[in-house]
């Protein structure tokens, strides 16, 4: 993990905030056949809050206006194996892990 963080700092600079979802995915992919995620890509049920426990309304959090977050969302959407309709209707993503037949063949 330390090396991933160092690479991201070199790529984007010291003020880069590393998202826990990316860290979690990086840890799960080598160990799992499938990683299922929920609401990382906003579905039609989205709200305009950054966090469920804050009253502050800010759509930039939801859509990932900040460039590295937007790039992460596009990367997750590209790696996803669920139909786009499922992703945008229910908020579920399914990403094959390194142990899946898709990645080993």
CA–CA–CA angle 93, 96, 102 (5° rounding): 135
CB 91 within 8 A of CB 42: yes
Q: What is the mean pLDDT of residues 63-89?
A: 80
pTM above 0.85, yes or no: no
The number of residues in the chain equals 105
The pLDDT of residue 75 is above 80:
yes
């Amino acid at each position: 993990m330390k090396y991933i963080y160092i690479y991201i700092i070199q790529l984007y600079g010291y003020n880069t905030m590393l998202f826990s979802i990316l860290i979690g995915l990086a840890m799960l992919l080598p160990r799992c056949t499938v990683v299922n995620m929920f609401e990382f890509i906003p579905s039609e049920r989205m709200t305009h809050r950054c966090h469920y426990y804050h009253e502050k309304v800010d759509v930039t959090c939801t859509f990932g206006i900040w460039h590295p977050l937007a790039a992460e969302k596009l990367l997750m959407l590209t790696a996803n194996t669920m139909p786009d309709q499922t992703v945008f209707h229910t908020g579920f993503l399914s990403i094959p892990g390194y142990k899946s037949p898709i990645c080993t063949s």
